[in-house]
Amino acid sequence: MKKKVLCFLLSLQLLFLTGCWDQRELAAVSMAIGMAVDVGENGLYKITVEAINPAELNDQTASGNAPSVVFTLEGNTMSEIAHKMNIGFSKSLIFSHMKTVIISKEIAEKGMLQFIDFLERNREIRDDFNFIMVDEGKAADVLKVLYTIQKSSSLKLTRQMSTGSKLWGSDPDIRLTDFVNALTATGREPVMATVHISGNPKKGASMDNLKKSELDAIVEIDSLAMFRDEKFVGTLPIEQTRDYLWTQNKIKMTIVSVPCGNENYMALRIIHSRTKVKGDIQNGKPHIKLSIRAEGYINGNFCGPYPLNESSSYLMYEKKVEDYLKEQIGKMIHKVQKEYGVDIFGFGETVERQNPKKYKKYKENWDEAFQQAQIDIETDIKIRRAGLTSKGALLRKK
Amino acid sequence: MEKENLSLTQLLALEFIFLLGSAIIMGVGTELRQNSWIAIAIATVLGTGIMYLFYTLNELLPNHNLFEIMEYGFTRPVAIFISVFYIIYFLYISSRLNRDFVELIATAILPLTPIEVISLTVMLVIIYIVYLGVEVLARVSEIFFPYLLGFIFLLIVFLFASGRIKLQNAQPMLGDGFMPVIKGIFPGLITFPFGELIVFTVILSSVTHLKKAKKVVLLGVVMAGFSLTFATVIMLMSLGADTMEFSIFPLLSAARKISIANFIERTDALVVFIMLLGILVKSSLFFYAGLKGLEYIFRIPYRDFTFPIGMTVACFTVWVSANFAEHEEEGLVFVTRYLHPPMQFGIPFLLLGIILWKTKKRQKANKKSTAV
Amino acid sequence: MLTSERPFVRVRRKLREAKNTISSEDKQLSILENEMISLHELKESILSAFGQTADLIMEQVRIAEEEGILFYLNSTIDKSQLQQTLMNKHTNQPNSSLDLKTVEGIQDFCEQMFGGSGYKLTQTAEEAINELLDGSFVIASKNFPLIISIGMPNTNLRQVAEPTSQTVIRGPKDSFVEASSINLSLIRRRIRNSNLRFEEFSIGSETKTKVYIGYMNEIANEKIVEEVRKRLNKINVSAIFESGNIEELLVDKTLTVFPLAFNTERPDTVAGELMEGKICIVVDGTPFALLVPVVFTDFFISSEDYYHHYMISSFLRVIRYISFMIVLIVPSAYVGILTYHPELVPTYLLINIMAQREGVPFPAVVEVLIMEFTFEILREAGIRMPRAVGQTVSIVGALVIGQAAAEAGLISNIMVIIVAITATANFVAPVYSLSAATRILRLILIPIAGFLGLYGVLLGLVVMVAHLASLRSFGVPYLAPIAPLNMKDQKDVFIRFPYWGLRRRPSYLRTAEPIKQEKSDLNTPPDMQGRNGG
């Protein structure tokens, strides 16, 4: 019996004789919160990492310094650069809390997206960061622009993007897996949100930027970038970004400003929306049918003396909105078909799901088939209520 | 040797955790893409049949575990010969399971820790549990059974709440017809996880009410199969067929997508806990079965073998493959095609046949003697 | 072992065994004529046994016109009662028709004089000495064939007061005291049933402490009672002072941190558990009684659970279980996650924690261990310090020290919160034995978390559960009724059903009468129609 106990204790000892391998003291690591990829001069890539200085983000310990440190390095593989970063940084970086990855337009145009493999494979890097493109200039500059509340640029961008996709539909909320899935699928092409730095980026990188009410530089959500496989082909302006999101059933809330002649507009706040897509192939051409059903309330009305306590007015407005939306979305899809020819909507995937046998023939060259596709849009808008007054002030005056 | 007793709930819990164990983490049938869950559902039905077969073996000779049944069916020398193979088989599968677990930990949680350490710590826990007896193992699985169910349920609820479930990902169903499904089931899904139920032939002898156990045992297979199907559907709908096919730990990848209110995120720990539990129970059962075989051959209580054999298994966990690709290949090719079928089906079928024949012979002899 | 025992001890042991099985009436009848002892011999034996002890009093008295000696131990006698009895003796002249030289005469005499005072007639010096030790006074006379001993033990100990360790908001506030007779009366008062049986043991070869077991005859499982008797009789130590000493000698397995017997100061708990089919062990000299067999879930039950409304009781029970998990998991998970898996913490929380841990010089493991040990030291000190000072050096004091250390930069603020939560959660367990067990387990899990992170914590928890699953208390599995699972018993484990629903006794106790009460009709409001309205 004693021998058994001795053997057992010896085997336990083995565990203690060696060290603790994976131990990383919190004080010895730095959180990398954002990454920017540019084309490198002395290497394939030029990667910039933004690492947080946590003391600055906590009001009690903040001392007015910059909330993060930004450093750039060149190299051939992202993995190499990521681990070499302490050429400039003091601590080792952990990437598991990264919030944004920004690529420059140059990278997108050249299609140099090989670094995605590193992002997918690495166990530390998760799927919850925003994948963004900057429309001009260096991606690194985006990481440097500071903002008042969140202070760090990446933190601000995450919050901004999630608010945008919820509130108005300005951001397609593209994560890494969304991009990769679109990339590998035959019936869909990837998209990405684009940002723009308005103002002076150099001044935006200083804490003085935060001391004013009108910031020197601010990062704005700009447009939607479209890709054919890994190469960038063009952008859609922000209004059409919203229309794009409508086809993807990703609209949560938005506002539609419907013109009703003579520079008069009506604003409808959409609160629920559901889009169904049906895809089929007939006579050699894809037939796509979109049914959009949305519900909202009138949020601004200057369209004429139609009293809003009569249901006929509601019906009239509903018709106006439906026609308007049909027109706008149709225009946008048509533009993408003719000018860019990439199926960013995933109509091919829809056809594959619903009619897999028919889709097989077109699998190889779906984009071409997409350009010939016939699109039918059906909209069904329901206006439920109109706020606090049934006839606005300006319409009441005698 | 004292009689160890298992209650029916414990049997159910053991079976459920056993079947889900590693299957839910490593992902079964993921290469079938949108048809994976259909294949699993069909395999479940077949699995109940398999379990019934194993149960019958035990029912014909109650209080006999697999090795004693072999002695009755063949003869002691032949049974010893075959038992050697079974012992090696059980211990080998046990070390492969440990290797699965160690790979998960090394890939996702503790990459720098040497796998020897992880292997050793897991094995020590398994040794402790098996040393305390199969009753203790059963109680532990009984206790953790609701937590396992709860965590899986939580994961599914969270996935729904994060809005990551896209029903369209499950289409197209049976896009390429039924053939791929059939190919996936034989021999893949039949042997893993359902064929591994052979281990239960060693345990069913300790159950208190063997007659009532029939319903429980089949219910366990159905429950586990259903949960596996459901989990696969959820994984499919949240990851998409592409990602799921090429993902090494699909449940972990799915769990990583959970993000609610910026607070409930990063729930990897739940998945690791599910896997830990599943592997512990599964590996302990295989280990116990191997030890019972040794007990049968050498007539020494199996407890005496726990520590030395356990350490051997811990070593083999490391030696069994040099890298992950080898481990996967071995599992998909060698084990699934050449190792599982004879051990799980070949010999048991033969055994069942012999025993039925012997029982008939005995009945005839009885009739003759009563007639005379 | 028997060879080294002194003959005295052997005799005493035989006496003790004889006492357990023979009632006092039988004793008187089995006196043999030819074993009478003379007064001189008695005096010599008593003097040699007690030596020069200051509390042995020998007085010359006259009883029934006879010269005799009165012996008593000053320290065990209730003096006021003694005087009264002796007074009575003088005023009541004996009936001179009795011949006090015969056994029957003595017996009649005692019946007349001392009837109802708990008298005994003994023959041997050893018995007399035992009686003296038990708090009786002994009267012997040259011509009496027997020695008379009358018991008037001094029960002037601590009065029944509020329990110090297991307090409740609603419920009886009496607690056991050191005198076992009062304790037994507190139990007997609550269960006015002739089936409540007490059996006396004298344990401890030198101290001969009185130990009583109590059980309900038609409810408790006879096999378990027999097992308790067997184990108590097997005990062979020299001194027993507290039920804790007996506990360690009585339980199935000592190599465990978990308590395998329930201890309580409250008579209502004991009465309740006796009715469930458990067996209580009362030790003279301590207010803590033991209850066996016990299961793990018993340690999360407080007697006031049954006095409050069942909803709040269920809620509090759940809180207790959660506190148990908190104590084990929170410090080790903190260490494990922060040291090995920073990716498991939500980003904003992690930024906060990192900001606080910036200047801390210690790794998380060391920090936690330092704070835990400091807390333990302060807690122990708080218990030992005199009442007046003790309150300051308590958890609040520890928090202040923690705060100061945090401001000095030695530990982070989060650490103070975690240790405070853990420490407070620890004391939610109604029974101290379990909170002691969880303290130790927590301290074991923290270094494990320091080595292997969250994985180590999970492994540690599994090992703990396996260990719990293997324990048995008097043959009852420690984790019943959870494992093996018994749905019928679940009414009183995690939640408490209303009193009308608690119809069964726990099945793992295998009681003789499993059903406590019949299905009762619930009350319906009376029909108020026809009175003042309708």
Residue of B110, B168, B239 lying closest to A353 (CB–CB): B168
Q: How far apart are CA B193 and CA B26, in angstroms?
A: 11
Q: Which chain A residues are closer than 8 Å to C452 by Cβ?
A: 20
**For chain B, what are the domain ranges?**
8-323
Whether residues A119 and A205 share a domain: the answer is yes
Report how far residue B129's alpha carbon sits from residue C32's, in angstroms, rounded to the nearest whole number: 61
Does A127 reach chain B within 8 Å, measured CB to CB? yes
Q: Are residues A225 and A116 in the same domain?
A: yes
Which chain B residues are within 8 Å of A21, Cβ to Cβ? 110, 112-114, 117
ipTM over 0.90: no
Q: From the candidates B143, B252, B280, which should be mutated to test the interface with C, based on the most C CB atoms within 10 A?
A: B143
Q: Are A92 and A195 contained in the same domain?
A: yes
User: Residue C213 forms beta bridges with which residues?
Assistant: C199, C281
d(CA A384, CA A295): 7
Beta carbons of C465 and B144 less than 8 Å apart = yes
Residue C92 has pLDDT above 60, yes or no: no
Count interface pairs A-B at CB distance under 8 A: 54
**CB of B240 within 8 Å of any CB in chain A?**
yes
Q: Which residues of A248-263 are buried (b: 16+ CB within 10 A; e: fewer)?
A: bebbeebebebebeee
**Residue A369 domain-assigned (yes or no):** yes
* pLDDT value, residue C34: 46
Interchain pair C451, A20: CB under 8 A = yes
Q: Domain of A296: which CATH number?
A: 3.30.300.210
CB contacts, 8 Å: C340 with chain A: 22-24
For residue A51, the cross-strand partners are A32, A69
What value does the CA radius of gyration of chain B take, rounded to a whole number of Å?
Answer: 21
Show residues of chain C in contact with A26, CB under 8 Å. 338-339, 342, 353-354, 357, 364
Q: Do A14 and B172 touch (CB under 8 A)?
A: no
Find the length of chain B: 372
A259 has a pLDDT exceeding 60: yes
Residue B215: pLDDT above 80?
Answer: yes
Question: Radius of gyration (Cα) for chain C, nearest Å?
Answer: 30
Q: Does domain B8-323 have CATH number 1.10.4160.10?
A: yes
What total of structural domains would you count in chain A?
A: 2
Which amino acid would we find at residue B312?
A: T
A23 neighbourhood in chain C, CB within 8 Å? 339-340, 363, 450
- pLDDT tens track for C347-373: 888 888 888 887 788 888 888 888 888
Task: Give the whole-angstrom CA distance, residue C279 versus residue C474.
Answer: 11
pLDDT at position C41: 79
State how far the Cα of B284 lies from the Cα of B277, in Å rounded to an integer: 10
Question: Given CA atoms A99, A105, A107, A111 in this order, what sign does their dihedral have?
Answer: positive
The angle at the Cα of C267, spanning C262 to C273, to the nearest 5 degrees, equals 50
- Same domain? For A198 and A221 the reply is yes
Please answer yes or no on whether C354 and A15 come within 8 Å at the CB atom: no
What is the domain range of residue A51?
25-238
Closest partner residue to B113 (CB to CB) among A12, A22, A356 is: A22
Give residue-wise pLDDT tens across range C154-202.
766 777 888 877 788 888 888 898 888 889 989 999 989 888 989 998 8
Judgement on whether residues A212 and A335 belong to the same structural domain of the protein = no
- Supply C32's token pair: 């043999």
pLDDT in tens, C375-423: 888 878 877 777 666 566 666 777 788 788 888 888 888 888 888 888 8
Mark yes or no for CB contact B9/C465 under 8 Å: no
CB contact under 8 Å between C485 and B142, yes or no, is: yes
Could you give the percent of chain A with pLDDT greater than 90? Answer: 18
Q: Is the peptide bond before C346 cis (omega within 30 degrees of 0)?
A: no
Compute the C-alpha angle B340/B344/B348, nearest 5°: 150
Chains that touch A (3 or more CB pairs under 8 A): B, C
CB B237 within 8 A of CB B169: yes
- Compare CB distances from C340 to A22, A58, A99 and report the shortest one's residue: A22
Q: How many CB contacts within 8 angstroms connect chain A with chain C?
A: 65
- Flag the least confident range among A4-18, A58-72, A330-344, A363-377: A4-18
Residue C458 with chain B: CB contacts under 8 Å: 272-273, 276
Domain identity same for A196 and A78: yes
**Using CB atoms, which residue from A21, A185, A354 is nearest to B112?**
A21
pLDDT tier for residue A194 given thresholds of 50, 70 and 90: very high
CB distance from A214 to chain C under 8 Å? no
| pLDDT tens readout for residues A204-254 | 788 887 788 888 888 899 889 999 888 899 999 988 898 999 888 888 889
Out of C340, C343, C477, closest to residue B110 by CB: C340
Query: Which residue in the set B114, B120, B243 is minimally distant from A21, CB to CB?
Result: B114
DSSP B74: S
At C289-309, the pLDDT tens digits run 999 888 888 888 888 888 888
Give C468 or C526, the one with higher predicted confidence: C468
Nearest to C332 by CA among C500, C457, C171, C149: C457
Least confident of A111-115, B182-186, B316-320: B182-186
Distances (CA, A) of C156 to C177, C283, C286: 11, 17, 15
Q: Say yes or no for a CB contact (<8 Å) between A26 and C364.
A: yes
Q: Are residues A289 and A358 in the same domain?
A: yes
**In sequence order, what are the beta bridge partners of C214?**
C198, C280
- Other C-beta atoms lying within 10 Å of the C-beta of residue A164: 18
Shortest CA gap B243–chain A (Å): 8
The 10s digit of each residue's pLDDT in B320-350 is: 888 888 888 888 888 888 888 888 888 888 8
Q: B44, B229 in Cβ contact below 8 A?
A: yes
Chain C: touching chains (3 or more CB pairs < 8 Å): A, B
One-letter amino acid identity for C517?
A: Q
Neighbours of chain B (3+ CB pairs under 8 A): A, C
Do the Cβ atoms of C110 and C121 come closer than 8 Å?
yes
pTM for this model (two decimals): 0.83
- What is the DSSP code (8-state) at residue B204? G
Question: Does residue B50 register a pLDDT over 80?
Answer: yes
At C105, the amino acid letter reads G
A16 belongs to a structural domain: no
Q: Is the pLDDT of residue C240 over 60?
A: yes
If asked whether residues A40 and A185 sit together in one domain, one would say yes
> What is the helix (H) or strand (E) element at residue A94, kind and residue range?
strand A92-94
Reduced to 3 states (helix: H, G, I; strand: E, B; else coil), residue A138 is: coil
The dihedrals phi and psi of C398, each to the nearest 5 degrees, come to -65, -40
At C54 the pLDDT is 84
Q: Which of B10, B122, B276 sits opposite C484 (nearest CB)?
A: B10
Strand C147-151 to strand C136-141: parallel, antiparallel, or no bridges (unpaired)? antiparallel
* CB < 8 Å from A in window 245-274 of B: 256-257, 259, 265-266
By Cβ distance, the residue of B109, B128, B262 closest to C341 is B109
Contact B132 C469 (CB under 8 A): yes
